[in-house]
Structure 1
Amino acid sequence: MNYDISGPWLTYVGPNAPLDDSCAPAANQQGSATGAIKAWTTAGVPSHQLVLGVPAYGHSYIVAPSDGLTSNDTETPIIASFPAFDKNQHPKGDKWDDGEGVDECGVQQTNGGNFNFIGLIEAGMLFPNGTATAAVDYRFDECSQTPYLYNETSQLMVSFDDAKSFSAKGNFIKENNLRGFAIWESAGDNNDILLNSIRTAAGFDEDC
Protein backbone atom coordinates (compact mmCIF):
# COMPACT_ATOMS: atom_id res chain seq x y z
CA MET A 1 0.00 0.00 0.00
CA ASN A 2 1.14 3.55 -0.69
CA TYR A 3 -0.47 5.42 2.19
CA ASP A 4 0.09 6.19 5.87
CA ILE A 5 3.65 7.02 4.86
CA SER A 6 3.37 10.13 7.04
CA GLY A 7 0.98 10.74 9.90
CA PRO A 8 0.62 12.12 13.42
CA TRP A 9 3.23 9.66 14.67
CA LEU A 10 5.89 11.89 13.06
CA THR A 11 6.95 15.35 14.23
CA TYR A 12 6.01 17.14 11.00
CA VAL A 13 3.24 17.16 8.42
CA GLY A 14 4.17 15.05 5.42
CA PRO A 15 2.38 13.47 2.45
CA ASN A 16 0.04 10.63 3.30
CA ALA A 17 0.59 8.88 -0.03
CA PRO A 18 3.64 10.28 -1.85
CA LEU A 19 4.20 9.18 -5.41
CA ASP A 20 7.87 10.11 -5.03
CA ASP A 21 10.05 11.39 -2.21
CA SER A 22 13.50 11.40 -3.79
CA CYS A 23 13.14 15.16 -4.33
CA ALA A 24 12.31 15.82 -0.66
CA PRO A 25 14.92 16.69 1.98
CA ALA A 26 16.68 13.54 3.19
CA ALA A 27 15.22 13.88 6.69
CA ASN A 28 11.69 13.83 5.23
CA GLN A 29 12.08 10.83 2.94
CA GLN A 30 9.79 8.21 4.50
CA GLY A 31 9.10 6.14 1.38
CA SER A 32 6.99 6.43 -1.75
CA ALA A 33 5.29 4.51 -4.53
CA THR A 34 8.30 5.06 -6.75
CA GLY A 35 10.69 3.66 -4.16
CA ALA A 36 8.44 0.71 -3.33
CA ILE A 37 7.97 -0.39 -6.94
CA LYS A 38 11.70 -0.08 -7.55
CA ALA A 39 12.42 -2.25 -4.51
CA TRP A 40 9.94 -4.95 -5.52
CA THR A 41 11.04 -5.11 -9.16
CA THR A 42 14.71 -5.10 -8.14
CA ALA A 43 13.90 -8.09 -5.93
CA GLY A 44 12.62 -9.88 -9.02
CA VAL A 45 8.86 -9.36 -8.81
CA PRO A 46 7.41 -8.55 -12.26
CA SER A 47 5.76 -5.13 -12.34
CA HIS A 48 2.61 -6.56 -13.94
CA GLN A 49 2.02 -8.54 -10.74
CA LEU A 50 2.11 -5.46 -8.52
CA VAL A 51 -0.93 -3.46 -7.41
CA LEU A 52 -0.66 0.09 -6.07
CA GLY A 53 -2.62 0.79 -2.88
CA VAL A 54 -4.14 4.29 -2.85
CA PRO A 55 -6.12 6.19 -0.17
CA ALA A 56 -9.39 8.10 -0.35
CA TYR A 57 -8.55 9.81 2.95
CA GLY A 58 -5.98 12.04 4.58
CA HIS A 59 -4.55 12.94 7.98
CA SER A 60 -5.18 16.22 9.81
CA TYR A 61 -2.99 18.23 12.17
CA ILE A 62 -3.06 21.42 14.20
CA VAL A 63 -0.37 23.72 12.81
CA ALA A 64 0.37 27.26 13.99
CA PRO A 65 0.29 29.87 11.19
CA SER A 66 3.93 30.70 11.89
CA ASP A 67 4.77 27.11 10.91
CA GLY A 68 2.01 26.41 8.42
CA LEU A 69 2.51 29.34 6.06
CA THR A 70 5.58 30.67 4.30
CA SER A 71 6.12 33.57 1.92
CA ASN A 72 8.52 31.61 -0.30
CA ASP A 73 9.42 34.84 -2.14
CA THR A 74 5.79 35.44 -3.09
CA GLU A 75 3.40 38.15 -1.97
CA THR A 76 0.75 35.65 -0.92
CA PRO A 77 1.72 33.16 1.81
CA ILE A 78 1.58 29.51 0.76
CA ILE A 79 1.36 26.30 2.75
CA ALA A 80 4.79 25.37 4.05
CA SER A 81 6.50 22.07 3.34
CA PHE A 82 6.92 19.65 6.25
CA PRO A 83 5.79 22.05 9.00
CA ALA A 84 5.88 21.10 12.66
CA PHE A 85 2.50 20.50 14.31
CA ASP A 86 1.12 20.50 17.84
CA LYS A 87 1.38 16.91 19.05
CA ASN A 88 -0.65 17.77 22.16
CA GLN A 89 -3.74 18.48 20.09
CA HIS A 90 -5.59 15.73 18.27
CA PRO A 91 -8.17 17.14 15.84
CA LYS A 92 -11.38 15.25 15.18
CA GLY A 93 -11.71 14.05 11.63
CA ASP A 94 -14.94 13.46 9.73
CA LYS A 95 -17.93 11.44 10.89
CA TRP A 96 -16.14 8.17 10.07
CA ASP A 97 -13.15 9.08 12.21
CA ASP A 98 -12.38 7.18 15.39
CA GLY A 99 -13.18 9.51 18.27
CA GLU A 100 -11.34 9.76 21.53
CA GLY A 101 -12.26 7.45 24.38
CA VAL A 102 -11.45 4.09 25.91
CA ASP A 103 -11.33 1.23 23.42
CA GLU A 104 -12.49 -2.36 23.95
CA CYS A 105 -9.10 -3.23 25.44
CA GLY A 106 -9.38 -0.49 28.05
CA VAL A 107 -6.78 1.72 26.39
CA GLN A 108 -7.37 5.46 26.13
CA GLN A 109 -7.38 6.57 22.49
CA THR A 110 -7.21 10.04 20.94
CA ASN A 111 -9.08 11.30 17.90
CA GLY A 112 -7.83 9.70 14.71
CA GLY A 113 -7.89 12.97 12.78
CA ASN A 114 -8.72 11.24 9.49
CA PHE A 115 -10.79 12.87 6.75
CA ASN A 116 -12.19 10.93 3.83
CA PHE A 117 -12.33 12.82 0.53
CA ILE A 118 -16.10 13.12 0.88
CA GLY A 119 -15.61 14.16 4.51
CA LEU A 120 -13.56 17.15 3.36
CA ILE A 121 -16.47 18.12 1.13
CA GLU A 122 -18.95 17.77 3.98
CA ALA A 123 -16.66 19.85 6.21
CA GLY A 124 -16.71 22.70 3.69
CA MET A 125 -13.05 22.45 2.76
CA LEU A 126 -13.72 21.08 -0.72
CA PHE A 127 -16.50 21.78 -3.19
CA PRO A 128 -18.55 18.77 -4.38
CA ASN A 129 -16.32 18.64 -7.47
CA GLY A 130 -13.27 18.17 -5.24
CA THR A 131 -11.67 21.60 -5.60
CA ALA A 132 -10.73 23.72 -2.59
CA THR A 133 -13.20 26.25 -1.20
CA ALA A 134 -12.35 29.78 -0.09
CA ALA A 135 -12.29 28.54 3.51
CA VAL A 136 -8.85 27.00 3.05
CA ASP A 137 -5.51 27.48 1.36
CA TYR A 138 -4.52 24.77 -1.12
CA ARG A 139 -1.10 23.65 -2.30
CA PHE A 140 -0.16 20.81 -4.60
CA ASP A 141 3.29 19.49 -3.78
CA GLU A 142 5.12 18.74 -7.02
CA CYS A 143 7.60 16.40 -5.34
CA SER A 144 5.17 13.99 -3.70
CA GLN A 145 2.39 14.79 -6.21
CA THR A 146 -0.10 15.20 -3.35
CA PRO A 147 -2.17 18.16 -2.07
CA TYR A 148 -2.50 19.96 1.25
CA LEU A 149 -5.27 22.10 2.75
CA TYR A 150 -4.85 24.65 5.53
CA ASN A 151 -7.32 26.78 7.48
CA GLU A 152 -5.35 29.54 9.16
CA THR A 153 -8.20 30.38 11.55
CA SER A 154 -8.72 26.87 12.93
CA GLN A 155 -5.05 25.99 12.28
CA LEU A 156 -6.18 22.71 10.72
CA MET A 157 -3.93 21.26 8.03
CA VAL A 158 -4.82 18.18 6.00
CA SER A 159 -2.55 16.04 3.85
CA PHE A 160 -4.76 14.08 1.45
CA ASP A 161 -5.35 12.96 -2.14
CA ASP A 162 -7.53 14.52 -4.82
CA ALA A 163 -8.29 14.02 -8.51
CA LYS A 164 -4.96 15.55 -9.55
CA SER A 165 -2.90 13.26 -7.31
CA PHE A 166 -4.97 10.23 -8.33
CA SER A 167 -4.38 11.09 -11.98
CA ALA A 168 -0.64 11.17 -11.30
CA LYS A 169 -0.90 7.76 -9.64
CA GLY A 170 -2.86 6.45 -12.63
CA ASN A 171 -0.15 7.64 -14.99
CA PHE A 172 2.42 5.94 -12.75
CA ILE A 173 0.48 2.66 -12.95
CA LYS A 174 0.39 2.87 -16.74
CA GLU A 175 4.01 3.93 -17.20
CA ASN A 176 5.29 1.17 -14.92
CA ASN A 177 3.01 -1.56 -16.30
CA LEU A 178 1.45 -2.29 -12.90
CA ARG A 179 -1.45 -4.71 -12.54
CA GLY A 180 -3.75 -2.02 -11.19
CA PHE A 181 -4.71 -0.37 -7.94
CA ALA A 182 -6.60 -1.03 -4.71
CA ILE A 183 -8.30 1.81 -2.85
CA TRP A 184 -8.99 2.30 0.86
CA GLU A 185 -11.79 2.89 0.53
CA SER A 186 -14.13 3.65 -2.34
CA ALA A 187 -16.86 4.82 0.06
CA GLY A 188 -14.60 7.75 0.91
CA ASP A 189 -14.84 9.02 -2.67
CA ASN A 190 -17.54 11.39 -3.93
CA ASN A 191 -19.36 10.64 -7.18
CA ASP A 192 -16.37 8.53 -8.27
CA ILE A 193 -14.17 11.62 -8.69
CA LEU A 194 -11.07 9.79 -7.46
CA LEU A 195 -11.89 6.47 -9.09
CA ASN A 196 -12.59 8.02 -12.48
CA SER A 197 -9.40 10.06 -12.30
CA ILE A 198 -7.07 7.16 -11.60
CA ARG A 199 -8.85 4.76 -13.97
CA THR A 200 -8.75 7.23 -16.86
CA ALA A 201 -5.08 8.05 -16.33
CA ALA A 202 -4.17 4.37 -16.03
CA GLY A 203 -5.96 3.63 -19.29
CA PHE A 204 -8.54 1.27 -17.84
CA ASP A 205 -11.89 0.78 -19.54
CA GLU A 206 -14.78 2.66 -17.97
CA ASP A 207 -16.77 -0.53 -17.45
CA CYS A 208 -15.31 -3.30 -15.30
Structure 2
Amino acid sequence: MSLNAQTRWHTFQSQEEINQAALHRILAAADAAIAKYGNFLIVLAGGSTPKAVYQLLAKADADWANWHVYHNDDRCLPVDHVERNSKMARDAWLSHVAIPEHQIHDIPAELGNVDGAKAYAQTLAGVRTFDLVILGLGEDGHTASLFPGHVVNNTADAVPVYHSPKPPADRITISQDRLNNTHEVMFLVTGAGKQEAVDQWRAGVAIPATLIQPPQGVDVYCFGVQLA
Protein backbone atom coordinates (compact mmCIF):
# COMPACT_ATOMS: atom_id res chain seq x y z
CA MET A 1 0.00 0.00 0.00
CA SER A 2 1.35 3.43 -0.85
CA LEU A 3 2.37 5.95 1.77
CA ASN A 4 -0.52 8.31 1.14
CA ALA A 5 -3.06 5.49 1.16
CA GLN A 6 -1.91 4.77 4.72
CA THR A 7 -1.98 8.42 5.73
CA ARG A 8 -5.43 9.90 6.36
CA TRP A 9 -5.57 13.69 6.37
CA HIS A 10 -8.20 15.60 8.37
CA THR A 11 -8.57 19.40 8.22
CA PHE A 12 -10.25 21.61 10.80
CA GLN A 13 -11.45 25.19 10.64
CA SER A 14 -10.38 26.41 14.10
CA GLN A 15 -8.09 25.57 16.98
CA GLU A 16 -11.10 24.70 19.10
CA GLU A 17 -12.41 22.31 16.45
CA ILE A 18 -9.15 20.37 16.19
CA ASN A 19 -8.81 20.30 19.98
CA GLN A 20 -12.31 18.88 20.42
CA ALA A 21 -11.78 16.31 17.66
CA ALA A 22 -8.55 15.15 19.29
CA LEU A 23 -10.23 15.00 22.69
CA HIS A 24 -13.05 12.82 21.38
CA ARG A 25 -10.62 10.60 19.49
CA ILE A 26 -8.57 9.98 22.63
CA LEU A 27 -11.60 9.25 24.81
CA ALA A 28 -13.07 6.90 22.20
CA ALA A 29 -9.77 5.04 21.89
CA ALA A 30 -9.65 4.72 25.67
CA ASP A 31 -13.16 3.30 25.90
CA ALA A 32 -12.45 0.78 23.13
CA ALA A 33 -9.14 -0.35 24.60
CA ILE A 34 -10.48 -0.73 28.13
CA ALA A 35 -13.41 -2.76 26.80
CA LYS A 36 -11.02 -5.02 24.86
CA TYR A 37 -7.92 -5.24 27.05
CA GLY A 38 -8.91 -3.88 30.45
CA ASN A 39 -6.54 -0.92 30.12
CA PHE A 40 -5.56 1.91 27.80
CA LEU A 41 -1.96 2.59 26.80
CA ILE A 42 -1.41 6.10 25.44
CA VAL A 43 1.84 7.77 24.35
CA LEU A 44 1.92 11.55 24.66
CA ALA A 45 3.55 14.25 22.55
CA GLY A 46 4.90 17.54 23.80
CA GLY A 47 4.10 20.93 22.32
CA SER A 48 1.47 23.63 22.46
CA THR A 49 -1.27 21.87 20.49
CA PRO A 50 -1.22 18.70 22.63
CA LYS A 51 -1.12 20.90 25.75
CA ALA A 52 -4.47 22.45 24.82
CA VAL A 53 -5.93 18.96 24.35
CA TYR A 54 -4.50 17.81 27.68
CA GLN A 55 -6.15 20.76 29.38
CA LEU A 56 -9.47 19.56 27.99
CA LEU A 57 -8.75 16.02 29.19
CA ALA A 58 -8.21 17.39 32.69
CA LYS A 59 -11.91 18.30 32.73
CA ALA A 60 -13.15 15.10 31.07
CA ASP A 61 -14.88 12.13 32.62
CA ALA A 62 -12.99 8.91 31.93
CA ASP A 63 -12.10 5.57 33.50
CA TRP A 64 -8.79 7.02 34.68
CA ALA A 65 -7.94 4.04 36.89
CA ASN A 66 -7.23 1.99 33.76
CA TRP A 67 -5.10 4.52 31.85
CA HIS A 68 -1.36 3.99 31.43
CA VAL A 69 0.55 7.03 30.17
CA TYR A 70 3.90 7.12 28.36
CA HIS A 71 5.84 9.86 26.51
CA ASN A 72 7.25 9.64 22.99
CA ASP A 73 10.29 11.73 23.91
CA ASP A 74 11.71 14.14 26.43
CA ARG A 75 14.57 16.55 26.92
CA CYS A 76 17.51 15.82 29.23
CA LEU A 77 16.72 18.54 31.74
CA PRO A 78 15.83 18.56 35.46
CA VAL A 79 12.47 17.00 36.37
CA ASP A 80 10.89 20.37 37.19
CA HIS A 81 12.27 22.23 34.15
CA VAL A 82 9.60 24.14 32.26
CA GLU A 83 10.64 22.53 28.95
CA ARG A 84 10.20 18.94 30.14
CA ASN A 85 7.32 17.25 28.31
CA SER A 86 6.50 15.27 31.44
CA LYS A 87 6.09 18.44 33.52
CA MET A 88 3.86 20.03 30.89
CA ALA A 89 1.59 16.98 30.76
CA ARG A 90 1.36 16.77 34.54
CA ASP A 91 0.65 20.49 34.96
CA ALA A 92 -1.94 20.58 32.19
CA TRP A 93 -3.70 17.29 32.87
CA LEU A 94 -2.21 14.36 34.75
CA SER A 95 -2.04 16.05 38.16
CA HIS A 96 -5.75 16.82 37.93
CA VAL A 97 -7.18 13.35 37.30
CA ALA A 98 -7.17 10.03 39.16
CA ILE A 99 -4.66 8.07 37.07
CA PRO A 100 -2.63 6.04 39.59
CA GLU A 101 0.87 7.46 39.92
CA HIS A 102 2.50 4.13 39.11
CA GLN A 103 0.67 4.16 35.76
CA ILE A 104 2.22 7.47 34.69
CA HIS A 105 5.54 6.57 33.10
CA ASP A 106 7.70 9.66 32.69
CA ILE A 107 10.97 9.28 30.78
CA PRO A 108 13.76 9.70 33.38
CA ALA A 109 15.62 12.11 31.11
CA GLU A 110 17.20 13.80 34.12
CA LEU A 111 19.53 10.76 34.27
CA GLY A 112 21.08 11.74 30.93
CA ASN A 113 20.31 10.36 27.51
CA VAL A 114 22.16 7.04 27.86
CA ASP A 115 21.11 5.98 31.36
CA GLY A 116 17.64 7.48 30.96
CA ALA A 117 17.06 5.61 27.70
CA LYS A 118 18.17 2.33 29.29
CA ALA A 119 15.80 2.89 32.20
CA TYR A 120 12.86 3.72 29.92
CA ALA A 121 13.57 0.71 27.72
CA GLN A 122 13.21 -1.39 30.88
CA THR A 123 9.93 0.36 31.66
CA LEU A 124 8.65 -0.53 28.17
CA ALA A 125 9.91 -4.13 28.27
CA GLY A 126 6.96 -6.50 28.04
CA VAL A 127 4.43 -3.71 27.52
CA ARG A 128 1.86 -4.73 24.92
CA THR A 129 1.13 -2.87 21.72
CA PHE A 130 0.24 0.76 22.43
CA ASP A 131 -3.37 1.76 21.83
CA LEU A 132 -2.78 5.37 20.74
CA VAL A 133 0.37 7.32 19.98
CA ILE A 134 0.06 11.11 19.73
CA LEU A 135 2.73 12.85 17.69
CA GLY A 136 3.56 16.35 16.53
CA LEU A 137 5.34 17.58 13.43
CA GLY A 138 8.29 19.96 13.52
CA GLU A 139 8.92 22.60 10.87
CA ASP A 140 11.87 20.46 9.75
CA GLY A 141 9.69 17.34 9.50
CA HIS A 142 10.84 15.77 12.76
CA THR A 143 8.52 13.89 15.08
CA ALA A 144 9.19 12.76 18.63
CA SER A 145 12.99 13.22 18.69
CA LEU A 146 13.54 11.62 15.29
CA PHE A 147 15.36 14.35 13.37
CA PRO A 148 16.35 14.82 9.71
CA GLY A 149 19.80 13.52 8.94
CA HIS A 150 20.04 11.46 12.12
CA VAL A 151 20.62 7.73 11.92
CA VAL A 152 17.46 5.94 13.10
CA ASN A 153 18.30 3.92 16.19
CA ASN A 154 16.08 0.88 16.71
CA THR A 155 18.39 -1.00 19.06
CA ALA A 156 15.91 -0.66 21.93
CA ASP A 157 12.40 0.59 22.67
CA ALA A 158 13.85 3.83 24.02
CA VAL A 159 17.10 5.28 22.69
CA PRO A 160 19.40 8.23 23.35
CA VAL A 161 19.47 11.21 21.01
CA TYR A 162 22.67 13.22 20.57
CA HIS A 163 23.25 16.62 18.92
CA SER A 164 19.59 17.51 18.53
CA PRO A 165 19.23 20.44 16.10
CA LYS A 166 16.80 21.91 18.63
CA PRO A 167 18.14 22.52 22.15
CA PRO A 168 18.83 20.81 24.40
CA ALA A 169 21.23 18.63 22.41
CA ASP A 170 20.63 15.52 24.54
CA ARG A 171 17.24 13.84 24.45
CA ILE A 172 15.57 10.47 24.75
CA THR A 173 13.02 9.15 22.28
CA ILE A 174 10.95 6.04 21.88
CA SER A 175 12.37 4.30 18.83
CA GLN A 176 10.74 4.22 15.42
CA ASP A 177 9.97 0.51 15.69
CA ARG A 178 8.30 0.84 19.09
CA LEU A 179 6.25 3.86 18.00
CA ASN A 180 5.03 1.76 15.08
CA ASN A 181 3.94 -0.99 17.48
CA THR A 182 0.59 0.69 18.09
CA HIS A 183 -3.04 0.34 17.11
CA GLU A 184 -3.57 4.04 16.31
CA VAL A 185 -1.44 7.12 15.57
CA MET A 186 -2.75 10.67 15.66
CA PHE A 187 -0.53 13.54 14.48
CA LEU A 188 -1.56 17.02 15.63
CA VAL A 189 -0.28 19.62 13.14
CA THR A 190 -1.15 23.29 13.56
CA GLY A 191 0.21 26.56 12.25
CA ALA A 192 1.45 27.93 8.95
CA GLY A 193 5.04 27.19 9.99
CA LYS A 194 4.34 23.52 9.35
CA GLN A 195 3.30 24.08 5.72
CA GLU A 196 6.62 23.09 4.12
CA ALA A 197 6.85 19.90 6.16
CA VAL A 198 3.25 18.99 5.25
CA ASP A 199 3.94 19.69 1.57
CA GLN A 200 7.01 17.46 1.66
CA TRP A 201 5.11 14.70 3.43
CA ARG A 202 2.27 14.79 0.93
CA ALA A 203 4.74 14.84 -1.98
CA GLY A 204 6.33 11.63 -0.75
CA VAL A 205 9.53 13.15 0.61
CA ALA A 206 11.03 10.93 3.31
CA ILE A 207 10.86 13.30 6.26
CA PRO A 208 11.17 11.70 9.72
CA ALA A 209 7.41 11.78 10.30
CA THR A 210 7.00 9.29 7.45
CA LEU A 211 8.93 6.71 9.48
CA ILE A 212 5.79 6.28 11.56
CA GLN A 213 3.61 3.90 9.56
CA PRO A 214 2.00 1.26 11.77
CA PRO A 215 -0.10 -1.44 10.10
CA GLN A 216 -3.31 0.60 10.47
CA GLY A 217 -1.71 3.76 9.08
CA VAL A 218 -1.88 7.20 10.65
CA ASP A 219 -4.35 10.05 10.98
CA VAL A 220 -3.06 13.59 10.59
CA TYR A 221 -5.23 16.28 12.17
CA CYS A 222 -4.41 19.69 10.63
CA PHE A 223 -5.32 23.29 11.29
CA GLY A 224 -3.69 26.33 9.72
CA VAL A 225 -2.01 24.51 6.82
CA GLN A 226 -3.23 24.02 3.27
CA LEU A 227 -3.61 20.56 1.79
CA ALA A 228 -2.92 21.02 -1.90
TM range (shorter): 0.3 to 0.5
Length-normalised TM-score, structure 2? 0.30
Say which structure is richer in helix: 2
Question: Looking at CA atoms only, which structure, 1 or 2, has the larger radius of gyration?
Answer: 1
Length-normalised TM-score, structure 1? 0.32
